[in-house]
Amino acid sequence: EDKVVQSPLSLVVHEGDTVTLNCSYEVTNFRSLLWYKQEKKAPTFLFMLTSSGIEKKSGRLSSILDKKELFSILNITATQTGDSAIYLCAGDSGGSNYKLTFGKGTLLTVNP
């Protein structure tokens, strides 16, 4: 059975701090690792990682994948209160249906 584990499950920081969120995965026929941000509604897409060692960056957010260790991290620098959300990571398995297996998420709270 495919499995995605995120840590920590929750994190409280102050504005301006840098955070690192972790995601390990065991996914059959792994194709990619995706990161989403979920506020009150459905997840919004952040990154899709398919290759090891290549950092993807979007503003203050960056992410990298290690396919040997089956691991990914999401970094957020200079956090802001608007970064408060649940961050979900998902493993994408191959096959005709492109199924995603989600981790439990990391609840990030950024205090002013």
Partner 1 sequence: GAVVSQHPSWVICKSGTSVKIECRSLDFQATTMFWYRQFPKQSLMLMATSNEGSKATYEQGVEKDKFLINHASLTLSTLTVTSAHPEDSSFYICSARAGDRGYEQYFGPGTRLTVT
Site string for partner 1, 1-30 (x = CB under 8 A): ------------------------------
Q: Which is nearer to partner 1, 25 or 36 (CB)?
A: 36
Do residues 8 and 25 make contact, with C-beta atoms less than 8 angstroms apart?
A: no
Complex with partner 1: residue 54 or 98, whichever CB lies closer: 98
Concatenating the DSSP letter of every residue in 64-88 gives EEETTTTEEEEEE-S--GGG-EEEE
β-pair type (30-38, 44-49): antiparallel
Q: Which window, 20-28, 42-50, 51-59, 64-72, contacts partner 1 (CB under 8 A)?
A: 42-50
| Identity of residue 59 | G
The contact set with partner 1 (CB under 8 A) reads: 31, 36, 41-45, 48, 88, 90, 92, 97-105, 107
